[in-house]
Amino acid sequence: MAKHDITGERFGRLVALSVAPSILRNTRWLCQCDCGSHSVVILSKLRSGHTSSCGCWHKEVNSALKRTHGQSNRGSSRPASRLYNIWCQMRRRCHSPKTQFYHLYGGRGIKVCREWDIYEAFESWALSHGYDPALSIDRINNDGNYEPSNCRWATAAEQVRNSSKARHIPHNGEVLCIKDIAAREGVEYEALRYRINKGLEVQSALAEIRERVA
C-alpha cells in the first residue's frame, strides 16, 4: 500500500489506478486518461496540476489552434482579434510557468476549465454573456477558476474592486470593498479608507465622518 493512497482520485483527465515503481525516489502512479490511454505520472506532478492528461489535451489544443476560425489571423498581416488574445492570455497565465504573472494564477492553482480548451466554446460563451471591447474578463471568485459559472465581463474599475488586493469588509450583511461602502453611504472614499486603516470599525468611521460634516 502506498504511503499516500490516491487510488480512484481524479486529476484533470487522469484517474489514479495503482502505484507504479518509483524512479529516483519519486513516487509514481499508473493513471488512466479519459481518452482511454494509460500513463505513469510522478505523484507531485499530479497534485500540482502540472500533468492532467496523457498528452491528448495538448494535442487537442494544438489542433484547435491550427483550425481556421478567423480570429488568430495566422499567416496574415492583420492582428488577431481582441477576444482571441484574451483567450490566449488567460490560458498562458494559468498554464505557462514562464509567463510573468503565472504565480498569481496557475502558480496558486487557478485553472481554465476543460470546456474552454477550445477557442470556439469560449467565444460562444463570451458573445452570449455581454462581451464588449471596453470590458475584460473577470473572475467573480478571485480564488476560483476560469469557467462559465465564475466569469463575467467587467470594467477596469470593477476588476480592481474584485481583485485580491482590494480590502473587503462586512457591512449591512454584505462583504464590500471600501469604495463601494463609501458610495452607498454617501461619504468620501479617502476619508473612509483613512479611518478604517487607522483601525476604526466601519460604523464608527462613518459616524466620525458625518459628525465632522455636520
pLDDT reported for residue 18: 93
User: What distance in Å separates the CA atoms of residue 15 and residue 32, rounded to the nearest whole number?
Assistant: 5
Summarize pLDDT for 87-100 with one digit per residue, the tens.
Answer: 988 998 888 888 87
User: What is the sign, positive or negative, of the torsion defined by CA atoms of 208, 209, 212, 214?
Assistant: negative
Residue 78, pLDDT above cutoff 50: no
Q: How far is CA 198 from the centre of its chain?
A: 33
Please, what is the average pLDDT of the chain? 80
What type of residue is 57?
W
Residue 68, pLDDT above cutoff 70: no
User: What distance in Å separates the CA atoms of residue 61 and residue 87, rounded to the nearest whole number?
Assistant: 12
User: What distance in Å separates the CA atoms of residue 184 and residue 174, rounded to the nearest whole number?
Assistant: 12
Q: Which residue has the higher pLDDT, 48 or 165?
A: 48
pLDDT reported for residue 32: 92
User: What distance in Å separates the CA atoms of residue 97 and residue 91, rounded to the nearest whole number?
Assistant: 11
How confident is residue 76, by pLDDT bands cut at 50, 70 and 90?
very low
- In the block, cell 529516483 appears at 24
Counted residue by residue, the chain has a size of: 214
pLDDT reported for residue 79: 45
**Could you tell me what percent of the chain has a pLDDT over 90?**
15
Q: From residue 39, give the alpha-carbon distance in Å to each of 19, 23, 95.
A: 12, 15, 20
Exposed/middle/buried for residue 186 (C-beta within 10 Å: 0-12, 13-18, 19+): exposed
Grid coordinates in use for 25?
Answer: 525516489
Mean pLDDT, rounded, for 71-77? 48
Exposed/middle/buried for residue 52 (C-beta within 10 Å: 0-12, 13-18, 19+): buried
User: What distance in Å separates the CA atoms of residue 207 and residue 214, rounded to the nearest whole number?
Assistant: 10
Summarize pLDDT for 110-126 with one digit per residue, the tens.
Answer: 999 988 988 888 999 99
pLDDT reported for residue 60: 67
pLDDT reported for residue 143: 82
pTM: 0.48
